[in-house]
Amino acid sequence: MTEKVLGVILGGGQGSRLSPLTLTRSKPAVPIGGKYRLVDIPISNCLNSGIHRMFVLTQFNSASLNKHIKNTYHFSHFSDAFVDILAAEQTPENPTWFQGTADAVRQTMHHLLNHEFEYVLILSGDQLYQMDFNEMVNAHIEAGAEVTLATIPVTAKDGTDFGILKANEDNIITSFIEKPNSELILDWSSDTGPDMQAEGRNYLASMGIYIFNKDLLVKIFAENPDEKDFGKEIIPRVLQEYKVLSFQYEGYWTDIGNISSFFEANLGLTDDIPKFNLFDSHQSIFTRARMLPPSKILGSTLDKAVIAEGCILQADYIKHAVIGIRARIGRGTKIENAYVMGSDRYQTLEEIRDETSAGHPLIGIGDHCTIINAILDKNCKIGNDVQINGGTHLENGDFGNYVVKDGIVVVKKGAIIPDGTII
């Protein structure tokens, strides 16, 4: 049935909670796992599920995302598969930019309708999970649903951050509330099954993943042109009028909404058995194929580390860390609890000689540094003897070349940190 499904991936707004990682790129373009981009996750889930036609809707800082999509997702000329970008555009009918999730789909609907499909699968571009959408599509069709929401059991504490719903014995949603407070949520428990209840996950939360019948979505947009958001406006209304199914998912899923969740998700990849499995041949994560050499490691001790290709590592040790493509780490340096995104290019020998003679740091991390509880964005130049010790003792704030959020030091893309700097 997936040949009747069209995928729509929402690029999100400005992504201010992920700043400074989103200062020059959109949320879906943020690097994750050392070599991927966030947008690779929903696209890969679609491809693994046999959904080969996708649009990515963007509006803010979309240049790097456009480049990534163009360089990554190529399909046979004999296939109808595609991953296309639809950027916000002003038209006589829609003179404004996207005003919300539903408004983004509404404004691009005329492009979607140029294709043949029966169901629209709407996804977020900033979530980390591995899901077979075939099961969700089949459940939608078998139930005769007009709308299906992917839902995940959560605890009362986590539930205050989500849209919470109740469903009957046939998994048809009967009521929905957006982000209830800690007292109100107690009245919204559901039968999530013995395994989930044993973990205290008694509340069904919307994952922001929807299936709509095409005709219904066209009708909804035509009848209610002022509704801007799926979670806050459209979903609560349609479940009063139409058959809306809850599809319960119990695997790993996290919303990459802020720096803390982003940091935790990346470091989680270093676990012995990570909740998000990159080493699954049946649920591969696809990304741009780079012609990079293997990583070279000289005298370093590695423990719970994920190392991307093309790196040159001379560190003393790297522990509980993700090291991105083309990373260069100097002698005697210690890396712990860190995500080093790497760089977009190698400096030439001539550039290295000139920068060194001028006393300028090179792209990468210099000698005898200590990097703890930190995220280093792409193309940073960290000098020698630099000490970055993140933790709760640091105040949140923007300090020019770096930002501190929840004790995590985030060095901005392309920042230069001189020799001997202590953070």
State how far the alpha carbon of 162 is from the alpha carbons of 63, 192, 204, 275, in Å.
30, 16, 9, 21
* Per-residue model confidence as pLDDT tens digits over 62-82: 788 888 988 899 888 888 888
State how far the alpha carbon of 95 is from the alpha carbons of 8, 85, 89, 108, 360, in Å.
22, 19, 8, 13, 48
Which residues constitute the domain of residue 87?
2-268
Share of the chain above pLDDT 70, in %: 95
**Is pLDDT larger for residue 95 or for residue 382?**
382
Q: What pLDDT is attached to residue 89?
A: 59
Q: What pLDDT is attached to residue 88?
A: 64
pLDDT at 20 over 70: yes
The tokens 């960290």 sit on which residue?
Answer: 382
Domain count, the chain: 2
On whether both 25 and 110 belong to a single domain, the answer is yes
- Region of poorest pLDDT, from 1-5, 130-134, 277-281, 312-316: 1-5
pLDDT at 44 over 70: yes
* Per-residue model confidence as pLDDT tens digits over 119-134: 999 999 889 999 999 9
Share of the chain above pLDDT 90, in %: 63
Q: What pLDDT is attached to residue 15?
A: 64
Mean pLDDT of 159-185: 88
Cβ atoms of 366 and 383 within 8 Å: the answer is: yes
Residues found in the chain: 423
On whether both 244 and 335 belong to a single domain, the answer is no
Q: What pLDDT is attached to residue 96?
A: 63
State the average pLDDT for the chain. Answer: 90
Which amino acid is located at 278 in the chain?
L
SS3 state of residue 302: strand
On whether both 96 and 213 belong to a single domain, the answer is yes
On whether both 180 and 256 belong to a single domain, the answer is yes
* Per-residue model confidence as pLDDT tens digits over 246-291: 999 999 999 888 999 999 999 999 999 999 999 988 889 999 999 9
On whether both 257 and 378 belong to a single domain, the answer is no
Q: What pLDDT is attached to residue 225?
A: 80
On whether both 131 and 210 belong to a single domain, the answer is yes
Does 282 reside within a domain?
no
